[in-house]
Structures are given as structure tokens and as C-alpha cells.
Amino acid sequence: MARDLSGKHVAILVAPKGTEHVELAAPKAAVEGAGGRVSVVGIRRGEATTVRHDLEQGETIAVDAAFSDVSADDFDAVVIPGGTVGADRLRLDEDAVGFVRGFFEQGKPVAAICHGPWLLVEADVVRGRTLTSYPSVRTDIRNAGGTWVDREVQVDQGLVTSRKPDDLPAFTAKLVEEIAEGKHEAQARSV
Amino acid sequence: MARDLSGKHVAILVAPKGTEHVELAAPKAAVEGAGGRVSVVGIRRGEATTVRHDLEQGETIAVDAAFSDVSADDFDAVVIPGGTVGADRLRLDEDAVGFVRGFFEQGKPVAAICHGPWLLVEADVVRGRTLTSYPSVRTDIRNAGGTWVDREVQVDQGLVTSRKPDDLPAFTAKLVEEIAEGKHEAQARSV
């Protein structure tokens, strides 16, 4: 299984507030550890404040680019962390939704964990796909036409999903594999 | 318009953490101000901790009854506050979902604000109904078969919904009216 991400550029999303810190930090470390480059992309360049366990203060992190200034053309893959408040905020941003949809249109790998899949529901890209999420999101995924499964990590043709922070080891291992493999033409079938 | 809630007993829901304080406190004050009685109902009796603006510490409040110990039979109406994390937590609790569904089955008034309507999506009672919510929930409402409108308060045959804390004056006025009117047979049409 390919594990080398040299030359790959991965976007990891962050909300201004409320993104679950470890769900951003662990994928970032995994991608960089495999030789890839990460840009943190948010609603505005500058700083974001993360959380721990949804409601406790996390850390201040740098936002490298704004959704309005970049597109899927600029990256090889995207990672969508959770955090209930952060994921809820991102789905309200039209630029964020359009940015994520672009990866599906181009068949590029997408990884989403916890409440992150709400952004996929908002982008209307889960129809016919099999995925997992934090269990509170399962009804929204099913109502959007997806098949929800209760597994630590689910891989469906370039779409990697997990349920919660405890799943991060399995999530990061699979997302590195899928990004190393590159484009998955079938990824575009839900768009 | 009837405004007297003497003899009416209203349940207001709360999550262990993350319910938006003012969206619980303002309806409680409105019902009590109109002569009604309020019980705060949660996952466990005891105490809950609310939030302000989703992520700031709110207050500790008493939980009068647990979902597992009561049913819609015990109340004349139910109010579902928001708070992103609180509403997300409540929809995961089967007893909470069943409790809310009971009000629809019995044609009793239901009022939900902000992210509170997620509980209605989870209870599968929005099909064919017209409602509003915090805008991040609109896609989930539409995918569950509801019609989403952008209004400070929407009344649909005993179902009262609003978007956010700024809408509370309109929300509380309408929910008092609907509770005073009593059962709405059409409320049960989505069950």
C-alpha cells in the first residue's frame, strides 16, 4: 500500500471557532509525516480557535488560505474535521461547500470525520455513497441518499470517513493510503 | 387571541451540556408569565449546564424529570431550545426522540427554535410540514420532507418554529398562543 505523499498538497478545513482540535492536528501530522504538504483552509485567512470535546477551549491556529481564494484545482485532497459547532458553521458557508464539491467533481480523495460529513450533505455528494460519521449525523446522511455504516473507518472509492476522535489512527492510516493512490474516477459518481 | 395558560403544563427540553441558555429561559419565563407550569426535562434528573452563543459557559439549571420517566401524556406542550451541541446531543437520545414524537401523535403543540428542529428531523415528523430553523439545519429539514422558510416565526397547525435568539419575542408570543389554543388535530398529520 502506497504511503508516500511527496509532492501532494492537502487542504484541511477549519471553522473560525468550534473545529475539534485533534481531528485537525492528527490528519495534519499524518500527511506531513508521509512527506505531504498541508494548507489549513478556512472562511478567512488569519487565525482560528479550535475546541476540545466540543465545548472546551482548544488552541489558536493559523489559517493559510480562504475558501474564496482557492479551489480544488490547487490541491490533491481535502480533509474535513468535526467539532459540532465548527462543522455546523462550515456548512453555512457557500464557498466552503463549493470548495468541497470541487474535489468530488475532480475525483480527488476526500476524508471527513465526526460531524465533518454535514458538509458533504450540504454539498449534496453523499447520494449512492457508503459512509460513517458521528452517530447524530446518520439520519441526515440517510435522508441525503447515503448509506450509513457504524465502522471506525469506511473507504468508498476515495471517500474516507470515521466516527470520532477514537477512530483517528484508522482514519489517518486510510486517508494517507487513498491520497497516495491519487484520483478515483468513481469518486465523481455522486456529483 | 388566547393568552392564559392556567392549568397548562409545558415541558422544556435541556441537554446535559450545550443547550442555549436564553432559548430555554425566555420560553420558560413566557409560559410562567402566562400562568402555566414548566418542567425542565432532560436525559437525567439533576443538573444541566447551558451555554451562551454556543461555546461560552452558561448557567447550571435544575432538570426536573428524565425522558425515561415521563411521556407526552404528562404535558400539554413541549418547547425544544437550540444550542448546536445541545440539540445534537438530544437527537442521539432515543427516549428524547420518542418523547417529542408523542406530542405529534397526540396533536399537542410543539415549539422548536434554532437547532432544536434537528430533534424533529430525527423523530421523522417534518414530512409535509412548513417550518424554519437556524439556517444550517435547512438542508436536513428539506431532506426529511419539510418545507423550510426564512421567517422569524412560522406557525403550522400547532408547530411553532423560529431561527435564532433574536427571534425569541416573536417565538414566545406565538408559542403561548398555540399552547393556549390546545390540541391541533392536524399536528398529527406528519406522524
> Residue A163 has what DSSP assignment?
S
Residue type, B71: S
Res B158 pLDDT > 70: yes
Q: For residue range A104-120, list pLDDT tens digits in order.
A: 999 999 999 999 999 99
- Torsion, Cα A71 A115 A51 A173, to 10 degrees, reads -70
Residue A184 and residue A175: Cα distance in Å, rounded? Answer: 13
Residue B156 and residue B10: Cα distance in Å, rounded? Answer: 19
pLDDT at B1: 57
Instruction: Give catalytic residues of B, as residue numbers.
Output: 114-115
pLDDT at B3: 87
For residue B39, the Cα-to-chain-centroid distance in whole angstroms is 13
Task: Pull the grid cell for residue A123.
Answer: 454539498
Phi, psi of B108 (to 5 degrees): -90, 150
pTM of the model: 0.96
pLDDT at B190: 76
CB-side exposure of A3: number of CA atoms within 13 Å? 6
Architecture per CATH, domain A9-184, reads as 3-Layer(aba) Sandwich (3.40)
pLDDT at A95: 98
Domain ranges of chain B: 9-184
Task: Please report where in the chains the cell 388566547 appears, as a residue.
Answer: B2
pLDDT band at A83 (very low <50, low <70, confident <90, very high): very high
Q: Where are the alpha helices (DSSP H) in chain B?
A: 21-33, 84-91, 94-105, 118-122, 138-143, 168-181
Contacts of B94 (CB under 8 A, 6+ apart): none
Rounded mean pLDDT of chain A?
96
Res A188 pLDDT > 90: no
Contacts of A133 (CB under 8 A, 6+ apart): A112, A113, A114, A115, A116, A117, A141, A148, A161, A163
pLDDT at B187: 86
Residue A47 near residue A63 (C-beta atoms within 8 A)? yes
Residue B103 near residue B178 (C-beta atoms within 8 A)? no
pLDDT at A173: 98
Q: For residue range A43-54, list pLDDT tens digits in order.
A: 999 999 999 999
pLDDT at B2: 67
Residue type, B125: V
Q: Do A121 and B139 touch (CB under 8 A)?
A: yes
Q: Return the H-helix or E-strand segment holding A90.
A: helix A84-91
User: How far from B131 is each of B47, B127, B140, CA to CA, in Å?
Assistant: 31, 10, 12
How close A87 gets to chain B, by Cα (Å)?
Answer: 10
Tally: H helices and E strands in chain A: 6, 12
Torsion sign across C-alpha atoms A42, A150, A8, A62? positive
CB-based contact (8 Å) between B115 and chain A?
yes
Closest chain B CA to residue A84: B85
Q: Return the H-helix or E-strand segment holding B56.
A: strand B56-63
Question: Whose CA is closest to A128, among A189, A78, A185?
Answer: A189
Task: Pull the grid cell for residue A102.
Answer: 470541487
Residue type, A25: A
A114 is a catalytic site residue: yes
Q: For residue range B95-139, list pLDDT tens digits in order.
A: 999 999 999 999 999 999 999 999 999 999 999 999 999 999 999
Tally: H helices and E strands in chain B: 6, 12
Residue A33 and residue A11: Cα distance in Å, rounded? Answer: 15
pLDDT at A2: 67
pLDDT at B109: 98
Q: Do A136 and B88 touch (CB under 8 A)?
A: yes
Question: Whose CA is closest to A93, among A24, A165, A19?
Answer: A19
Q: For residue range A160-181, list pLDDT tens digits in order.
A: 999 999 999 999 999 999 999 9
- Give mean pLDDT, residues A20-49: 98
- The residue among B143, B148, B163 with the most chain A CBs within 10 A of its CB, best to mutate, is B143
Question: Whose CA is closest to B88, among B151, B29, B13?
Answer: B13
Q: For residue range B55-89, list pLDDT tens digits in order.
A: 999 999 999 999 999 999 999 999 999 999 999 99
Residue B23 near residue B168 (C-beta atoms within 8 A)? yes
Q: Do A115 and B88 touch (CB under 8 A)?
A: yes
Catalytic residue among A9, A21, A53, A114: A114
CB-based contact (8 Å) between B26 and chain A?
no
Q: Return the H-helix or E-strand segment holding A103.
A: helix A94-105
pLDDT at B112: 98
Res B12 pLDDT > 70: yes
Compute the residue count for chain A. 191
Is ipTM over 0.90? yes
Q: Which residues in chain B are closer than 8 Å to A84, comparing Cβ atoms?
A: 18, 84-85, 88
- Give mean pLDDT, residues A126-137: 98
Q: Which residue in B85, B135, B144 is closest to A84 by CB distance?
A: B85
Q: Do A88 and B115 touch (CB under 8 A)?
A: yes
A21 is a catalytic site residue: no
pLDDT band at B11 (very low <50, low <70, confident <90, very high): very high
pLDDT at A93: 98
Residue B48 and residue B50: Cα distance in Å, rounded? Answer: 6
Rounded mean pLDDT of chain B?
96
- The residue among A20, A85, A114, A138 with the most chain B CBs within 10 A of its CB, best to mutate, is A85
- Cβ atoms within 10 Å, residue B166: 10
- Of all residues in chain A, the percent with pLDDT exceeding 90 is 94
